[in-house]
Amino acid sequence: MSTIVIFGGTGYAGGNIAVEAVSRGHQVISYSRTVPEQTADGVEYRIGSLTDDDVVARAATDADDLVVATHGADVGGSPLVDHVARLTSAAIEHGARLSFVGGAGTLNVTKGGPRLVDTPEFNDEWKPEALSHALVLDALRSGPQELSWFYVSPAALFGAWTPGETTGSYRVSDDELIVKEDGTSEISGTDFATAYVDEIEQGKHPRQRFAVGH
């Protein structure tokens, strides 16, 4: 069993990952700005931010897997990409695998493009978040070869506002948005978490981004 440390473990994606990981017997530590009113059994909650060097060092020291499930555009007043180098250094120093909950905006709607974020239908209000996550992915791909990492993009409809149905199954692609036969693209928080913890346990996508969807 692994020790999984999650930045953003009280949010939608991070919270689902924490619950799924605990259910499989992993030790889970969550870092967030505040402890939630409702906590999940088996999760250790700590106060702290990935903007704090001491917190990052402690988290990486404790972790087999260091999961980042935070916003991309604004993490303590700066974009997430500004913290990737520090997270990378800490993960390498302490032998942790680094992983990120990404967004769907960077996925291609057809093989070879365009990206979802570049299509006319993409909501302008979502673009800063999507483009910030694109920079995080670029930083990982161009980062040190010794870093062990993976990055998971959900389907287009993913979030607390559309929790979806737990099906117990999911599909995987590399850089293409996963779309169902009816033209929708979605994944529930629970099934996304299943895919994420499967990757932690099985390691099928080393140093890669992959997408999950129903």
Of 63, 57, 71, 70, the C-alpha closest to 44 is: 63
CATH code of the domain in which 193 resides: 3.40.50.720
**Number of domain units in the chain:** 1
What is the C-alpha end-to-end distance of the chain, expressed in Å? Answer: 27
pLDDT of residue 112: 86
Q: What is the pLDDT of residue 35?
A: 86
Residue range 153-172, pLDDT digits in tens = 999 999 999 999 999 999 99
| C-beta of residue 212 within 8 angstroms of C-beta of residue 195 | yes
Containing structural domain, residue 18: 3-213
Retrieve residue 132's tokens: 């910030």
- Please report which helix (H) or strand (E) contains residue 87, including its range: helix 84-94
Residue 47 Ramachandran class (φ > 0 left, ψ -120 to 50 alpha, else beta): beta
- Is 90 exceeded by the pLDDT of residue 36? no
Contact, 149 vs 101, CB < 8 A? no
What are the pLDDT digits (tens) for 180-209? 999 999 999 999 999 999 999 999 999 999
Q: How confident is the model at residue 106 (pLDDT cuts 50, 70, 90)?
A: very high
